Amino acid sequence: MSFIQIKDLHVHYPIRGGFFNTVVDHVYAVDGVSMEFEKGKTYGLVGESGSGKSTTGKAIIGLEKITSGQVIYEGEDVTNKRRTRNSAFTRDIQMIFQDSTSAMNPRKRVQDVLAEPIRNFMNLSPTEEKRHMIELLEIVGMSEEALLKYPHEFSGGQKQRLGIARAVACKPKMIIADEPVSALDLSVQAQVLNFMKDIQTEYGLSYLFISHDLGVVRHMCDHISIMYKGRFVEQGTKEDIYKHSKHVYTNRLLSAIPTIEPETRFERKMERRAVEQAYRENAQKYYDADGKVYPLQVISATHKVAMSAAEKEAQ
Ligand SMILES: Nc1ncnc2c1ncn2[C@@H]1O[C@H](COP(=O)(O)OP(=O)(O)OP(=O)(O)O)[C@@H](O)[C@H]1O
């Protein structure tokens, strides 16, 4: 049973121009995305740069204005109260970014960074607050001394852990993780990912895991949505996506996962070439959810949509 539903989400950014700086067009960053989240599951959102992944995550949590669509939380429409103080949605849904420190004030010590969500959402005495902060640091494998340090005094992996500590401070139900490990070394990536899995079990968390890397997503996610030009072109379980993908676009992302086995390297290279060729031939077309390819209708300089059902029928 899903506890969050996203219905037909659109985020369009106006493009201004001309002498009077009027709106001349829009960037259709997210263009009709729907998804549902169940408790304790991990959902992957994958696509190449500019496909609209971050905008989707930020729109869900309320950091981007929604042009149209709905966010339903525990049966209630929270579309217009996603960032209101004291709302359950604001407390329960947290976000972490590629560089967690960019979301932390560099002039604040860790104790102030962690205290912020605690003071906003939990009514604790100063002693309880300190105890809670120490517990949070323990959960992310750090000691009490970290409380008096500044964010720049930590390594990349440690900063990501601090970002996670802050995100879980108020026991959220879901974390939207936008490329949480892509700025880290491979070995540190594995540590942070495994750690995220551990706290998921401990807190019963759901994740929306945003990444351009299908290799990382395979490690983490139960359900995967492939995003292309602001829309989902394919959605399914890990099995559906990695074993039975239908899309030329998904195939292209899959073929980009590096292999370390020398015996399959040559076949993979040839496979990649064929997939790349198929993608190039169809790059200007729309990929239907069943894997069929249709011409795009150009409706503005920046926006192209799929043909209507009637037009497909006529094809
Ligand atoms: N504030 C903004 N104003 C105008 N256009 C924007 C704005 N933010 C994002 N966009 C555009 O919206 C589209 C989607 O951007 P978004 O950052 O969501 O993509 P992404 O898939 O997360 O890419 P990346 O992996 O590089 O972060 C892009 O074309 C981007 O240029």
Q: Dump pLDDT digits (tens) for 148-202.
A: 999 999 988 888 889 888 988 888 999 999 998 887 887 788 888 888 888 898 8
- Structure token digits, residue 230: 């602001």
Q: Which residues pair with 5 in a beta bridge?
A: 36, 72
The two tokens of residue 149 are 């340090």
Alpha-carbon torsion, ordered 26, 300, 275, 234, to 10 deg: 60
Residues listed for the chain: 315
Q: CB of 47 closer than 6 A to ligand 1?
A: yes
Quote helix, strand, coil % in the chain, to nearest 5.
40, 25, 30
The alpha carbon of 310 and the centre of ligand 1 are apart by a number of angstroms equal to: 31
In contact, 118 and 135? CB cutoff 8 Å: no
Q: What are phi and psi of 69, to 5 degrees?
A: 120, 175
How far is the centre of ligand 1, averaged over its atoms, from the C-alpha of 154 (Å)?
29
How many whole angstroms separate alpha carbon 186 and alpha carbon 258? 13
Residue 289 CA: distances (Å) to CA of 12, 94, 154, 167, 300 = 22, 30, 44, 34, 23
Q: Which residues share a beta bridge with 96?
A: 177
Q: What is the pLDDT along the chain (315 residues), one digit of tens a residue?
A: 899 999 999 999 988 888 888 888 888 899 899 999 999 999 999 998 888 999 999 999 999 999 999 999 999 999 988 777 778 899 999 999 887 767 788 899 999 999 998 998 888 999 999 999 999 898 888 899 999 999 999 988 888 889 888 988 888 999 999 998 887 887 788 888 888 888 898 889 999 999 988 888 888 899 999 998 888 888 999 888 888 887 777 888 887 776 666 666 777 777 777 777 777 776 656 655 565 665 555 555 555 555 555 555 565
Task: Name the residue of 31, 33, 51, 55 whose CB sits within 8 Å of the most ligand 1 atoms, as the mutation to test its pocket.
Answer: 55
Say which amino acid occupies 308: S
Q: Which residues contact 179 (CB under 8 A, 6 or more apart)?
A: 97, 98, 210, 211, 212
Distance CA 111, CA 126 (A): 12
Conformational region of residue 93, where left means phi above 0, alpha means psi within -120 to 50, and beta covers everything else = beta
CB atoms < 10 A from the CB of 50, how many?
A: 14
Whose CA is closest to atom 28 on ligand 1?
50
Q: How far is the CA of 13 from the centre of ligand 1 (A)?
A: 9
Q: What local confidence, expressed as pLDDT, does residue 17 receive?
A: 82
Note the pLDDT of residue 6.
96
Query: Does the C-beta of 49 come closer than 6 Å to ligand 1?
Result: yes
* Bridge partners, 31 (sequence order): 10
CA-closest candidate to residue 139, choices 111, 160, 168, 118? 168
Q: Is 9 helix (H, G, I), strand (E, B) or coil?
A: strand
- 27 close to ligand 1 (CB < 6 Angstrom): yes
Largest CA distance in the chain: 71
Ligand 1 atom with the shortest distance to the CA of 13: 4
CB-CB contact of 64 with 73 (8 Å):
no
Tokens standing for residue 28 = 């259709």
User: In angstroms, rounded to a whole number, what is the distance separating the alpha carbons of residues 119 and 308?
Assistant: 51
Model pLDDT for residues 37-51, shown as the tens digit of each residue:
999 999 999 998 888
How far apart CA 302 and CA 275 sit, in angstroms, is 26
Domains of the chain are: 2-246 (3.40.50.300)
Which residue owns the Cα nearest ligand 1 atom 14? 52
